[in-house]
Amino acid sequence: MVNLDRRVVLVTGGTGSFGQKFTEIVLRRWRPKKLIIFSRDELKQHEMRKRFPDTGDSPMRYFLGDVRDPERLQRAFHGVEIVIHAAALKQVPACEYNPFEAVLTNILGAKYVIDAAIDQGVQQVLAISTDKAVNPINLYGATKLCAEKLFVHGNFYVGEGRTRFSCARYGNVIGSRGSVIPAFLEQRQRGRITVTDQRMTRFWLRLEQGVEFVLTCLAMMRGGEVFVPKIPSMRIVDVAKALDPTCEIAYTGIRPGEKLHEVLIAEDEARNAVEYDDFFAILPWYHDLRPPMPPDGGRPCPDGFRYSSETNPRWLSAEELREMIGVAAMEPAEEER
């Protein structure tokens, strides 16, 4: 496990769900020299500051800025040792309707983070990615795929420097902003939950699991890997039924840019992937970027391997889902029954 005591850590998009949970866990376990929250929303920083004050001997720092602004990133990264890049435009419909904005934040923002990290001598940069980057059919997934490639191949630009770039790619986060679960909870109050297709499946993990995985990646990364956790799947309709088995479910049809099933590792990627007990590591295509793996490095994935939410060997039960997000909040009130 990585040790963040006396380290200087910066999180882009740090006021989001991931950044808030990351901050909570890091401050509980370690005493970093600085934990810098870099984001563009002063209101969210103000609210986060109430929970994690930056007064007294606190390591917290709040830095207003946008990943689209290369000069601001250069200033923010000065003296930083570790960067977690979580800033992105993430809503699929919003990215489809505002495509240039998605490109500016998710792709050019990635370039500017890479440039600033190299120029300022950051040691490690770990970018947060998504299953939608695999065989993308919507703009959000396409921008995240491009961002992944930039971070992997950004290691070519380092030269004799010490900066190393890797990615952590995982699925839907339970309880995060924009998750389908809060929408289902709101809909169930009206006695009717909408699901696009009863066959649809997704990968799921808790926010805490996402943070723990990122911390594991920081300890494992050598530069150029895309790390993928082993996480369970669940049908979307079963998620709805777990939240309220008495609710009516209406099927509305698949939305533009939506898949029936998500993939975390495609067949072509699997040729360069190695498997560990709890995760996979996809190694770079180019051997010049191949990192030296630890002595207990993983097992090569078999030919034709594909890690899909549809064929995943691990599935969540309704009881497990309710336990993950709190049983009391999920059970319908007596009058709703």
User: What are the residues facing 39 on neighbouring strands?
Assistant: 64
Yes or no: say if 102 and 139 are a contact pair by the CB < 8 Å rule.
Answer: yes
Inter-helix orientation angle 207-220/17-29, to 10°? 60
Write the burial class of residue 215 (CB in 10 Å: 0-12 exposed, 13-18 middle, 19+ buried): buried
Work out whether strand 172-174 and strand 201-206 pair parallel, antiparallel, or are unpaired. parallel
Q: What is d(CA 205, CA 233) in angstroms, rounded to the nearest whole number?
A: 9
Phi and psi at 263, nearest 5°, equal -125, 135
Catalytic residue among 132, 230, 241, 259, which? 132
Short-list 83, 77, 57, CA closest to 65? 77
Q: Is 259 a catalytic residue?
A: no
Short-list 330, 321, 21, CA closest to 174? 321
Q: What is d(CA 222, CA 52) in angstroms, rounded to the nearest whole number?
A: 31
Write the burial class of residue 226 (CB in 10 Å: 0-12 exposed, 13-18 middle, 19+ buried): buried
Active site residues: 132
